[in-house]
Homo-oligomer: A and B are copies of this chain.
């Protein structure tokens, strides 16, 4: 049966988040300017501001100078409402970042492990240790923390993973919550980059955008109609495992011809190997297999600068693959903005890659679907996104957000 998308209560809840995002975009604003920026009535904005002030989410910054009429009070998100901590967890790599409650970054730590951290107890201890370290660097205490978010790559949507992968912490989330003594939200990187784009990137000015992540793996965070697209099982956005070439290159996912097998960093290495099988950067797999594969990205940038024709050809062919694959997103989703992160956004690559990508997207997109499309480099990252998700979760815990579309956990 037809089910109502949102109730009036959800609308109030959504509007609170919209006001928070508008305030974050403006830095400092007034009730009147917020009404104008959001399209909400001044009365609605005033009520929402009252609620958010009451819970300490907003702070008044004092009277603002005006040319006409009585002075108005400035408002901003209160960064000192608390601290939000984001984690990014891989097999042998853990990153932790502390944000203030206005999503400003305060401190970060990276921890690598020589061996795979597989046991759930070890993973929990690893996270707990990094938590202490990063809080100390941010001069924060555990009791300041209002939310913890964990970015967990891969299919963490269901509790079917082998207990030997770091993903398995999702099976033991209650134990992690007990250990940290805090609410913990887990989500996948694609939902995080979409959420970051919504709070801090293109989502501030357009309703339909796609944030594209280009590293070792690749994927898309989708914003449609001002909300993050999650899909039936929180698995939307796996554009990296849509087809570029039917029956094409073997992908690490086990299937053939996926976009990722061409535009993920190991795919770029294979493109180079096809162009120049004996090229030293093609032979050395370790460069592409490091964190996000960015060692290879950097080495290729250097080679191009040194006039290496094979490296140049590999980068350009990769740009064509990327453009063709992005055109599929345009065909299906027709976004206003595609925001790139990862290798295509690297300064050394942008100059060479961006024009090819833009041209190819326009040529390969159906009809006029890409006529007004902006392809830009995103200022956001997944860590900001998981922090924003943790902040949304905190808003729910204190009763200010009720929207039924929630993170997976």
Contacts and interface: CB of A to CB of B under 8 A. Distances in A.
Given A324-B243, A327-B243, A232 B6 contact: no
Contacts of A39: 3-4, 7
Given A160-B368, A237-B332, A364-B255, A231 B245 contact: no
How many copies the complex holds: the figure is: 2
Given A243-B244, A246-B324, A238 B2 contact: no
A101 to B, nearest CB: 17
Nearest to A242: B328
A227 interface: yes
B38 A3 contact: yes
A378 interface: no
A233 B334 contact: yes
A336 interface: yes
Interface stretch (A19-27, A122-130, A280-288): A19-27
Given A1-B26, A11-B11, A225-B227, A332 B244 contact: no
Contact of A37 (B1, B40, B207): B1
Contacts of A238: 331-332, 334, 366-367, 369
Interface in A364-402: 364-369, 371-373
Contact of A321 (B22, B227, B246, B366): B246
Contacts of A40: 4, 7
B3 A233 contact: no
A158 B371 contact: yes
